[in-house]
Amino acid sequence: MVRRLAGTSATVTTDLLPPLTHNADARTYGSESPQAGGAEIGPAHAPTRGLHMITWGCQMNVYDSARMTDVLRPLGYAPVESASDADMIILNTCHIRDRAAEKVFSELGRLRLIKEERKADGRPTVLAVAGCVAQAEGEQILKRAPYVDIVLGPQTYHRLPEMVARAARAGGSVIDTDFPAEQKFDFLPEVAAPQTQGNVTAFLTVQEGCDKFCSFCVVPYTRGAEASRAVASVLAEARRMAESGVREITLLGQNVNAYHGEGPDGRIWGLARLAEALSSIPGLARIRYTTSHPRDMGDDLIAAHRDLPALMPFLHLPVQSGSDTILKAMNRGHTADEYRSLVEKLRTARPDIALSSDFIVGHPGETDEDFEATMALIRDVGFAQAYSFKYSIRPGTPAAGAPRQIAEAVKDDRLQALQALLREQQDAFNASVVGLTAPVLFTGRGRKPGQMVGRSPWLQPVHVDGPDTLIGVERPVRLDARFSNSLAGTLVKECAPT
Ligand code: 5AD
Ligand code: SF4
């Protein structure tokens, strides 16, 4: 099978093989890593070279950046905070937002200057572009930015050392945007325990790619077909994380609830069974997963929310629209009422479950009535949190060429109205937990002296006064007050039922 993103040169085979929530801001992995500049990284004989990772986009990119760091470690690369100190710079890109490629070229222009300055000092720099823009733009990147040394798609990170060697040998640029027959998961090194040392929460990718082909979305073209990692490999990574102090794991996948990994018994396991196995790992107190598709929300997974206390009562389940006409045009494969009834089933299984979603306003063909149907769905369901976007054209996707594109001003008005309603619901949800006593998993110190911060089961940051020894511990907290983005609470002895 060949997937072609019309209007681009990206042609990819899908012998091989997520949306996640997206960060607006760039994240620099090196600066977040507890081992930035760490001396013990890499074999004793390998010289330490600086690696500067710039990560844009979703949690899966954050995870991928960590894996690329792992892959490069045996070559002597260790994270550094500043691009000027880096022998290798990787820009891990995201294609989901508007003008993604332009943003990449503008950042590359900045990195080019750093590369040239270093060169003048006799210090060469390998510049690599990874991620979904690399996959979609491919050779275009080398045409427009010939000073880039390596262009690699999300499926070929395990080949990075080979690419670095090839770039050094050839003295030219290397491009690898294949969708190789081998699964990258099988070729990536095991996550070293120090990777998550000191972290109480961690991401773990279990599934990648998407076969749903929603009308507006580039993911099926940039991340390839759905593929799941084998259960044993997931469990091994989760065990290593738990041993290094991780207490909460968020399983990642573009369609994480479509997970169908090979189990140790040779059978295919779904996400519910995987979550059950994970919940018996000593030390692992909490499991979350994101992002899910309503079509893959099976009864076994809904039942797991009833049966597994470790499965947190917070679910990101994007619906995109509340109008059946638009859902059909989007190729979502479900109706608004089917979504409503899923929510009902989830709430029956786990009455305290809170819901989050993604919405798009102004998809081609969306009328005022369609938009009103989305507002009605929001009112019916009640969301604890949500991400909402104006539809924006992704060249090559079916909706890009659809008739009846919506005027920008109309999209603006609809987005404002939608966000006002969602904000109201978020406030109401936060207010509804004040007065409850709930388990909080402490992740670090707060900003004020003597203050600790943790997460509620519903992903809200909670501040309490308490000792440092709380880090990594789950304790009952009475939730006393709410602020715009967090809660304040008091430690209590016993956890009353919430
Ligand atoms: N326009 C607007 N929003 C989009 N998303 C994905 N593609 C587009 C697009 N072309 C949103 C969807 C998805 C989230 C990650 O990004 O709501 O769930
Ligand atoms: Fe994109 Fe739709 Fe696949 Fe989600 S389900 S990644 S929105 S194509």
214 lines ligand 2 (CB under 6 A): yes
For a mutational test of ligand 1's pocket, the pick from 215, 217, 418, i.e. the residue with the most ligand atoms closer than 8 A to its C-beta, is 217
The pLDDT score that the predictor gives to residue 251 is: 97
Determine contact, residues 460/476, Cβ cutoff 8 Å. Answer: no
Please name which of 407, 311, 414 lies closest in space to residue 359, comparing C-alpha atoms.
414
Determine contact, residues 241/202, Cβ cutoff 8 Å. Answer: yes
Concatenating the DSSP letter of every residue in 271-320 gives: HHHHHHHHHTSTT--EEEEE---GGG--HHHHHHHHH-TTB-SEEE---B
The SS3 of residue 42 is coil
18 lines ligand 1 (CB under 6 A): no
The pLDDT score that the predictor gives to residue 174 is: 82
Question: In angstroms, what is the span from residue 213 Cα to ligand 2's centroid?
Answer: 6
Which ligand is the nearest neighbour of the Cα of 411? Answer: 1
Question: In angstroms, what is the span from residue 387 Cα to ligand 1's centroid?
Answer: 9
Tokens of 178: 């294949």
The pLDDT score that the predictor gives to residue 187 is: 61
The pLDDT score that the predictor gives to residue 431 is: 96
Residue 92 is which amino acid? Answer: N
Question: In angstroms, what is the span from residue 55 Cα to ligand 2's centroid?
Answer: 21
19 lines ligand 2 (CB under 6 A): yes
Q: Which atom of ligand 2 is nearest to the CA of 213?
A: 8
Biggest CA pair distance of the chain: 67
Distant-in-sequence, close-in-space partners of 31: CB < 8 Å, separation ≥ 6:
81
The pLDDT score that the predictor gives to residue 44 is: 41
Residue 196's pLDDT band (cuts 50, 70, 90): low
Residue 459 is which amino acid? Answer: L
Question: In angstroms, what is the span from residue 120 Cα to ligand 1's centroid?
Answer: 42
The SS3 of residue 31 is helix
Q: What is the mean pLDDT of residues 21-27?
A: 38
For a mutational test of ligand 1's pocket, the pick from 21, 360, 397, i.e. the residue with the most ligand atoms closer than 8 A to its C-beta, is 360
Please name which of 158, 294, 127, 269 lies closest in space to residue 207, comparing C-alpha atoms.
269
Q: Which of 4-8, 87-91, 243-247, 359-363 has the lowest mean pLDDT?
A: 4-8
Question: In angstroms, what is the span from residue 90 Cα to ligand 2's centroid?
Answer: 26
Determine contact, residues 290/321, Cβ cutoff 8 Å. Answer: no
Residue 395 is which amino acid? Answer: P
The SS3 of residue 369 is helix
96 lines ligand 2 (CB under 6 A): no
Q: What is the mean pLDDT of residues 153-182?
A: 79
Question: In angstroms, what is the span from residue 292 Cα to ligand 2's centroid?
Answer: 9
The pLDDT score that the predictor gives to residue 332 is: 98
Whether the predicted pLDDT of 41 surpasses 90: no
132 annotated to a ligand binding site: yes
495 annotated to a ligand binding site: no
Q: What's the sign of the alpha-carbon dihedral 351, 352, 358, 363?
A: positive
The pLDDT score that the predictor gives to residue 2 is: 40
More confident residue, 46 or 179: 179
Query: Residue 204 CB: number of other CB atoms within 10 A?
Result: 21
The pLDDT score that the predictor gives to residue 422 is: 97
The pLDDT score that the predictor gives to residue 475 is: 97
Question: In angstroms, what is the span from residue 195 Cα to ligand 2's centroid?
Answer: 30
For a mutational test of ligand 2's pocket, the pick from 5, 255, 317, i.e. the residue with the most ligand atoms closer than 8 A to its C-beta, is 255
The SS3 of residue 332 is coil
Determine contact, residues 183/146, Cβ cutoff 8 Å. Answer: no
For a mutational test of ligand 1's pocket, the pick from 22, 61, 96, i.e. the residue with the most ligand atoms closer than 8 A to its C-beta, is 96
Q: For ligand 2, atom 1, name the residue with the nearest CA.
A: 217
The pLDDT score that the predictor gives to residue 48 is: 87
Whether the predicted pLDDT of 444 surpasses 70: yes
User: pLDDT tens, 105-146?
Assistant: 999 999 999 999 999 999 999 999 999 999 888 889 999 999
Q: For ligand 2, atom 6, name the residue with the nearest CA.
A: 19
Please give the mean pLDDT across all residues of the chain: 87
The pLDDT score that the predictor gives to residue 190 is: 61
User: pLDDT tens, 95-107?
Assistant: 887 788 889 999 9
CA–CA separation, 452 and 459 (whole Å) = 15
Question: In angstroms, what is the span from residue 255 Cα to ligand 2's centroid?
Answer: 7
332 lines ligand 2 (CB under 6 A): no
Please name which of 455, 386, 460 lies closest in space to residue 425, comparing C-alpha atoms.
386
Q: First and final CA of the chain: distance in angstroms?
A: 50
Q: What's the sign of the alpha-carbon dihedral 466, 469, 472, 473?
A: negative
CA–CA separation, 395 and 375 (whole Å) = 28
Q: Which of 141-145, 197-201, 440-444 has the lowest mean pLDDT?
A: 197-201
The pLDDT score that the predictor gives to residue 58 is: 84
Q: Which of 14-28, 371-385, 430-444 has the lowest mean pLDDT?
A: 14-28
Q: Which atom of ligand 1 is nearest to the CA of 392?
A: 1
Whether the predicted pLDDT of 454 surpasses 70: yes
Residue 396's pLDDT band (cuts 50, 70, 90): confident
Q: What is the mean pLDDT of residues 437-444?
A: 97
CA torsion, ordered 369, 371, 373, 374, to nearest 10 deg: 180
Q: Which atom of ligand 1 is nearest to the CA of 22?
A: 15
Percent of the chain with pLDDT over 90: 70
Q: For ligand 2, atom 4, name the residue with the nearest CA.
A: 19
Tokens of 334: 């479900």
CA–CA separation, 122 and 125 (whole Å) = 10
Q: Which of 171-180, 279-288, 402-411, 431-440 has the lowest mean pLDDT?
A: 171-180
More confident residue, 274 or 140: 274
CA–CA separation, 131 and 114 (whole Å) = 21
58 annotated to a ligand binding site: yes
216 lines ligand 1 (CB under 6 A): yes
User: pLDDT tens, 54-89?
Assistant: 999 888 888 889 889 988 988 899 999 999 999 999
Q: Which atom of ligand 1 is nearest to the CA of 358?
A: 17
Residue 387's pLDDT band (cuts 50, 70, 90): very high
Question: In angstroms, what is the span from residue 339 Cα to ligand 1's centroid?
Answer: 18
Q: Which of 25-29, 221-225, 261-265, 422-426 has the lowest mean pLDDT?
A: 25-29
The pLDDT score that the predictor gives to residue 57 is: 87
The pLDDT score that the predictor gives to residue 60 is: 87
CA torsion, ordered 89, 92, 95, 96, to nearest 10 deg: -140
The pLDDT score that the predictor gives to residue 235 is: 97
Question: In angstroms, what is the span from residue 219 Cα to ligand 1's centroid?
Answer: 10
Read off φ and ψ for residue 478, nearest 5 degrees: -85, 125
User: pLDDT tens, 285-306?
Assistant: 999 999 999 999 999 999 999 9
Which ligand is the nearest neighbour of the Cα of 219? Answer: 2
The pLDDT score that the predictor gives to residue 155 is: 84
